[in-house]
Amino acid sequence: MIVTCPECHTKNRIPRERLSDHPHCGKCNARVITGIPIDLTVNNYQRHMSADLPVVVDFWAPWCGPCRQFAPVFEMVAAPFAERARFVKINTQTETTLGQRYMIRSIPTLAVFYRDQEIARTQGAMPPQQLHQWLDRALAQIPPEE
């Protein structure tokens, strides 16, 4: 499967069964699977969105109180899902083009993408258990690898 490095944004080919082996990027040697959300910009988002690892996006803005309250929950839930999805954050205040492209009307908005196709979307902050359940349902919609 193709997984994008969170540091240099280079695409890496990693066998699915090796994701738990802490693979490193072939270019910069950074860990490819970290369980830590990364910030995406208009310059790097496409390399992650088109990869084989599903992408969970938190569309947020720094002035948004619920977004700031939800950030630690998003970060906490990212770790146990590290081998199943890439967690990313898109600041809609600075990345207005991406907010418009994905028709973000309220924040926080969460969306799951697989190979650049939106699989699920929800709006508003939620507690960790509810986010975990929503992600399980969303990721279950992705067809298994052939």
Exactly one of 5, 8, 28, 64 is catalytic; name it: 64
Q: What is the mean pLDDT of residues 124-135?
A: 97
The answer as to whether 11 is a domain residue is no
Pairing label, strands 38-39, 2-4: unpaired
The answer to whether the CB of 110 falls within 8 A of the CB of 139 is: no
pLDDT at 125: 95
The answer as to whether 104 is a domain residue is yes
8 annotated active-site: no
List the domain range (segments joined by +) for residue 51: 34-141
The answer as to whether 55 is a domain residue is yes
| CATH code of the domain in which 124 resides | 3.40.30.10
The answer as to whether 132 is a domain residue is yes
Condensed to tens digits (0 to 9), the pLDDT of residues 47-91 reads 999 999 999 999 999 999 999 999 999 999 999 999 999 999 999
Exactly one of 5, 25, 28, 67 is catalytic; name it: 67
The number of domains in the chain is 1
- Token pair in block for residue 86: 């890439």
The answer as to whether 90 is a domain residue is yes
The answer as to whether 9 is a domain residue is no
pTM as predicted: 0.94
pLDDT at 146: 47
The answer as to whether 85 is a domain residue is yes
64 annotated active-site: yes
Query: CA 11, 15, 21, 25: dihedral to nearest 10 degrees?
Result: -20
